[in-house]
Amino acid sequence: MRQDALARDRMTAHMQAVEEAEARGETGDRGAWKWAIRKRVWDYMEKHDIAANPRPVHHRIPNFVRAELTARQVELLPEFARAKWIKVNPDSPQKEVRAAVLRAGKMLLVPQPRLRTGFFSVLDPAKIGPGQVSFAVTQPGVVAHGEPIDLGAKLKVDMVVIGSVAVNPANGARLGKGEGFAELEYGMLRVMEAIDDDTPVVTCIHDCQLVDDIPSEKMLCHDVPVDIICTPTQTIRVERILPKPKGIYWDKLSPQKLGSIRVLQMLKAKLEAEQGCALPTGPDEVLPPTAVRVGKGAGKAGGKAKGKAGGKAKGKAEGKAEGKAEGTAEGKASGKGDRPAASGARWTRRAPAPDGGAADAA
């Protein structure tokens, strides 16, 4: 409880700093409204014991109970079946997704956490034994089994999996933890021509992270929308509304962020040398604090939380993952509750139609 209170205090202090900087016109188009949504979701997950280690979940891509069920949903995607190379974020709730990629015999691309030690690491399932997979998808395991690549690597990524704090299923707009790493990783892959507009972007979240108050008009050119949302209970296909970023938008990248990521500094220097001119620099930014690294015990609620939904979403639900005890049966315990209050609307769904038709979002 003490650490949870500390996380809340740090969150409040950061929101105040962002609001003050925004009022002074020092933060460009980085709005404090995003932090209000993040705080609402993080607080809700902690309050209702949906959060899982590492806790508190504030300033993280939040881990949650039954997160492994989202990996089962990903495995059912036809895009997953077709993919040979898949990029997955390094955060805790996507650990089982990373494991699923390797167990399916697919090449796994994992960013270095916070891009602080490099760029991406490639894990080849042919070089990792079945008994090593669970370790290989942890941070130490990626160091031990991964092969670092640089910006000059030639590869084609068939699917991108990113973590989120909140997602609007009506338009695919998402919020991460506020540090912009998913956008930077996506932008660098575009620069490398490893992905394009048609590369599916998937996010894996708890049902309580579905919201309806991330409007399309407030999304920025570098924000990455998602095509598919996988929760423990459902898969939602999002209508393509928002454009995807084309690369790195240097005029949006703050000097604080650029100064903290060496691979970006290298890329900028390379492009400036090639083009013979200086690239622009974005407005200053109030960098968020890093997460508090303490806390024991996963959440107990299994997603049986109370609250109100954020979502009159239009995404098409593909229904519950089919499986044994770890699939459908456990899925019923996860995410059946309401979601954090947004406009007071409730996200509802029905079972898929017998012909595989979409579920309703009302």
Tell me: the pLDDT tens digits for 195-246? 999 999 999 999 999 999 999 999 999 999 999 999 999 999 999 999 999 9
Q: What is the pLDDT of residue 62?
A: 98
159-185, pLDDT tens digit by residue?
A: 999 999 999 999 999 999 998 889 999
113-145, pLDDT tens digit by residue?
A: 767 667 899 999 999 999 999 999 999 999 999
Q: What is the pLDDT of residue 166?
A: 98
Structure confidence at residue 31 as a pLDDT band (50, 70, 90): confident
292-322, pLDDT tens digit by residue?
A: 655 444 444 444 443 333 444 444 445 444 4
Distance in angstroms between the alpha carbons of the first and the last residue of the chain: 36
Structure confidence at residue 270 as a pLDDT band (50, 70, 90): very high
Q: Is 22 exposed, middle or buried (0-12, 13-18, 19+ CB in 10 A)?
A: middle
* pLDDT at residue 8 tops 90: no
Calpha distance 353→160 (Å, rounded): 28
Could you count the other beta carbons within 10 Å of the beta carbon of residue 331? Answer: 25
CATH number belonging to domain 59-275:
3.40.50.10420
For tokens 């979403």, the residue is: 313
Q: What is the pLDDT of residue 248?
A: 96
User: In angstroms, how far is CA 168 from the centroid of its own chain?
Assistant: 13
**In terms of pTM, does the model score above 0.75?**
yes
Q: What is the pLDDT of residue 118?
A: 72
Q: Which helix (H) or strand (E) holds 203?
A: strand 201-204
Coil, helix or strand for 87?
strand
Q: Is the Cα torsion angle 45, 290, 311, 330 positive or negative in sign?
A: negative
Mean pLDDT of 328-348: 41
Mean pLDDT of 143-157: 94
User: In angstroms, how far is CA 174 from the centroid of its own chain?
Assistant: 8
| Mean pLDDT estimate for the chain | 81
Are 45 and 208 spatial neighbours (Cβ–Cβ below 8 Å)?
A: yes
DSSP of 115-134, one letter per residue?
Answer: GSS-SEEEE-GGGS-GGGHH
For tokens 């962020």, the residue is: 257
Q: What percent of the chain has pLDDT over 70?
A: 71
Could you count the other beta carbons within 10 Å of the beta carbon of residue 6? Answer: 14
Beta strand ranges found along 18-103 (DSSP E):
85-88
